[in-house]
Structure 1
Amino acid sequence: MNAKLTSKQTAKTKSTPAAAVSAQSVLEQLQSNNVNFLRLQFTDILGRAKNIEVPRSQFEKALSGGVMFDGSTVQGFTRIEESDMLLQPDLATFLIYPAFSREEGERGQVARLICDVLLPSGEPFPGDPRFVLKRQIARATELGYTLFAGTEPEFFLFERGADGRGTTLTNDQAGYFDLAPIDKGERIRREITNKLFEMGFEIEGAHHEAAPGQHEIDFRYQDALATADAISTFKFVVKRVALEYGLLASFLPKPVAAVNGSGLHTHLSLFKNGQNAFYDAAGEFELSDTALHFIGGLLEHAPQMCAVTNPLVNSYKRLVPGFEAPVNVAWSTSNRSALVRVPAKRGNSTRAEFRLPDPSCNPYLALSLMLAAGLDGIAQKTTPPPAIQRNIYQMTVREKRHHRVRELPRDLHDALDDLERSSVMAEALGDHALEHYLRAKRAEWRTYSAVVHPWELAQYLDLV
């Protein structure tokens, strides 16, 4: 798909058509709800949410797409000599934040719009992660498919030190599904859930996770663009509520050794003509050929997308045996040691759970590559290896070879090499996003590699 896809072409991929929400209706909501500030939110290449906040006097200008910013100051955007960019609000993403503190409520409401980044010519900026995803959605739409995704974001709650900085001291010692008073995060999870409800999220469940201080809040599946928008908003809300309780909420994949890390398990399904294209009552495991080929594509390209779905040096501390995170490229309809698991429900609930991503990823780029991998599997009619229903962690090397089980990259350096070699992933990201992403991540790896870590001193200092 060509990176020069136009704004007119991408508009049809939105979950709520722009025409369904007018600038005038948004302006009326801003006025009637005593909103004093409007945040124009966008995302940099690494997935960090950015915003320009405008006061009431600038609302009409902002809604018309007239707010410009310096793109050269944003990671992965552009050079200083071509820095001017426009923020075009997606009116369907309008919401009003709940007050996170009494002082905020007294100062008036704050609202938010997620924006597409445009060039001064009005064309989409090819390095905008949201545009990268919209391009893949447009490709799926041309084939008659709509991608739906539901995510299970996990995070830790940590105590803050006397200086206000975060620590890795958890605020409880609870485990899976524990209750208060062992689970000391119960009240905070409820507060987060209530705030998300106020903002229109459909929450399906919330619970304590396996590790001390670790939590999960699941929200209902949506189309891919709405899901990526929701993840970005979710992370902000979690961190903001935790701050009010004097805690640090962290989405770092593996902040504490010897316990489970945090994942972003993503449930994927394609719909066609209003029906789940993954379901076939007559197929093996009641899965259609489309589902099997999509799964085949995910497995085929998992090592190549790993640098995006698992983007940090720390991400690969999570991807080790024994902590319920995938290590090998395999799929199953039962066990959770597989990279792709097909949950038991069928019919319109038929889906593939992709267990690779972690919550530090850029959700727009990650979903773009998942969709690109699945669509390539469909196009190439990729047949996955036989499903493995046993614990893959306990299989020998010979057994893994027999079952065509490959390993994922072991560190960010190897993952970046795999990404750079993949024509499918390169086409999905586009030249601009790929170049700037690789540049930023290569620099991150070089910095990490030059640091002397405490483990090295403890292990070697007295011995050599």
Structure 2
Amino acid sequence: MGRGKILSYQSDKEELLRKVEEMDIEFIHLQFTDIMGIMKNVSITAEQLEKALDGKIMFDGSSIDGFVRIEESDMYLKPDLSTFTVFPWTNFHKEARLICDIYKMDGTPFEGCPRNTLKKVLKEAEEMGYVMKVGPECEFFMFHTDEKGNPSLETHDDAGYFDLAPIDLGGNARNEMTITLKQMGFKIETSHHEAAPGQHEIDFEYDDALLTADNIMTFKMVVRIIAQRNGLHATFMPKPKFGINGSGMHLNLSLSTLDCKNAFYDENNDLKLSEIAYHFLGGLMKHARGYTALTNPIINSYKRLVPGYEAPVLIAWSASNRSPLIRIPAERGMGTRIELRSPDPSANPYLALAVTLKAGLDGIKNKIQPPEQVTSNVYEMETDEIKERGIERLPINLYEAIKELSKDEVIKSSLGEHIYKRFIESALYEWKDYSRYISPWELDRYLRKF
């Protein structure tokens, strides 16, 4: 079996080298993602590709935030051949990319690589008989830039949900993004203007979790590049402007059995949900406060998670309304899924999927039952009713989320010691820096008053 894999890799490698030569590709970008979800890139010429495919391209891991100390800095990039994609926007020379896993000098996977972290939890799911499927809903804003190309907060339209041209002035840029993504192999489902001025959404097809995480990173890169080519700045910052809806990244989650059946579907149940689905839901709810630091990892994330702007606040679920943390969309059969509505697009997709899967698997292992569903609008619930029903709320800021993560051993175990420590260090540094900053809001409110 192992020999078969070697032969398959060798033939795939030879086929890729042949393809690069035939297409006259000059540069290949070796891409990977750091702990905070920022894409990194090492560019090589086509002549160096075989060396890269043999895992011999080294880089200084101590120069990447959260990776390693300087005395243990040498790291290797191991390309995933299935991620080879040609960039369709290059004019003067052809360029392509490969997404890489990070390996240590001794040839073992680096525990600080977010892609390796997701693979580890996916392997745990596979050993339990499941494959995770994910469909993301990525929202983003597009703003005008100034004469120097710096982003402003001036939107290019005053359109709203599902509006179209001439009000939706970003429609041309969004169409170009959609065409580019399709050229790169994406299967686009919908593309539309979102609720806030300058806000957009492009949804792509539900797929295996690792491919989806790769696709989210590629999607963000393409959106920003195409926006720039149209004289706009695209941002995945969750809440760039006060008083309007923020950008979310709802995750539609399901498990398939190894024989490709939807493990969440049971036609004999009242909601046509299986016990596996209820237990997965129970795990997601039990660990919601623990994984929020990963699904909403920056200071600004918590400016979105407030009442009144369609983002979830309370840890509740429903099959009939969109106000709680978790919704069960109406589709059944192979489309049965759980929609987690709290994540935002600043999240590292590899880590966000790893922790949500781990939470759900814990629910399955320990047969965690979710509380009774909430059918009313949770935004309109009185405090007494919330207390009476024992409904918890999501953390209100990054510091609270970090504290909750530190108490959740299940979520910490999914990250591993290295990523957990480095993530906490980075988040605490950001929180302390933010806590010392004197904002314009404070000056406007207090300077003359006191």
Normalising by the smaller structure, the TM-score range is over 0.9
The runs of at least 4 consecutive aligned structure 1 residues that moved more than 3 Å come to: 17-21
* Aligned-partner Cα distance in 2 for 1:18–1:269: 30
Aligned to 2:356: 370
**1:42–1:114 contact (8 Å) kept in structure 2:** yes
Aligned length: 446
Q: Structure 1 residue 431: deviation in Å?
A: 0.2
Q: Structure 1 residue 316: deviation in Å?
A: 0.2
* Candidates 30, 37, 48, aligned match of 1:40: 30
2:388 equivalent to 1:408: no
* Aligned-partner Cα distance in 2 for 1:98–1:404: 52
Aligned to 1:255: 240
* Candidates 103, 106, 115, aligned match of 1:118: 103
**1:154–1:214 contact (8 Å) kept in structure 2:** yes
TM-superposition CA deviations, 1:318-345 (whole Å, max 9, x none)? 0000111000000001111110100001
* Candidates 426, 431, 439, aligned match of 1:445: 431
TM-superposition CA deviations, 1:192-228 (whole Å, max 9, x none)? 0000000000000000000000000000011000000
Aligned to 1:394: 380
2:442 equivalent to 1:456: yes
* Aligned-partner Cα distance in 1 for 2:118–2:138: 19
**1:23–1:64 contact (8 Å) kept in structure 2:** no
* Candidates 22, 44, 54, aligned match of 2:44: 54
Aligned to 1:87: 77
Q: Structure 1 residue 20: deviation in Å?
A: 9.3
Q: Structure 1 residue 390: deviation in Å?
A: 1.2
* Aligned-partner Cα distance in 2 for 1:90–1:130: 11
Aligned to 2:366: 380
2:300 equivalent to 1:314: yes
Aligned to 2:157: 172
Q: Structure 1 residue 75: deviation in Å?
A: 1.1
* Aligned-partner Cα distance in 1 for 2:285–2:307: 18
* Candidates 18, 21, 24, aligned match of 1:28: 18
* Aligned-partner Cα distance in 1 for 2:390–2:181: 43
* Aligned-partner Cα distance in 2 for 1:245–1:18: 42
Aligned to 2:71, what secondary structure does the other structure show? helix
- Residue type of the alignment partner of 2:399: H
- Residue type of the alignment partner of 1:145: Y
Aligned to 2:91, what secondary structure does the other structure show? helix
* Candidates 190, 198, 207, aligned match of 1:213: 198
* Aligned-partner Cα distance in 1 for 2:8–2:445: 59
Aligned to 1:332: 318
Q: Structure 1 residue 361: deviation in Å?
A: 0.4
- Where in structure 1 are there 5+ consecutive unaligned residues? 1-7
- Normalising by structure 1, report the TM-score: 0.94
Q: Structure 1 residue 105: deviation in Å?
A: 1.5
Q: 1:137 to 1:195 in 2, by over 3 A?
A: same
* Aligned-partner Cα distance in 2 for 1:132–1:443: 23
Aligned to 1:407, what secondary structure does the other structure show? coil
* Aligned-partner Cα distance in 2 for 1:135–1:419: 19
Aligned to 1:66: 56
Aligned to 1:328, what secondary structure does the other structure show? coil
Q: Structure 1 residue 314: deviation in Å?
A: 0.3
- Normalising by structure 2, report the TM-score: 0.97
Aligned to 1:285, what secondary structure does the other structure show? coil
**Residue range with higher mean Cα deviation, 55-64 or 134-143:** 55-64
* Aligned-partner Cα distance in 1 for 2:394–2:270: 27
Q: 1:167 to 1:60 in 2, by over 3 A?
A: same
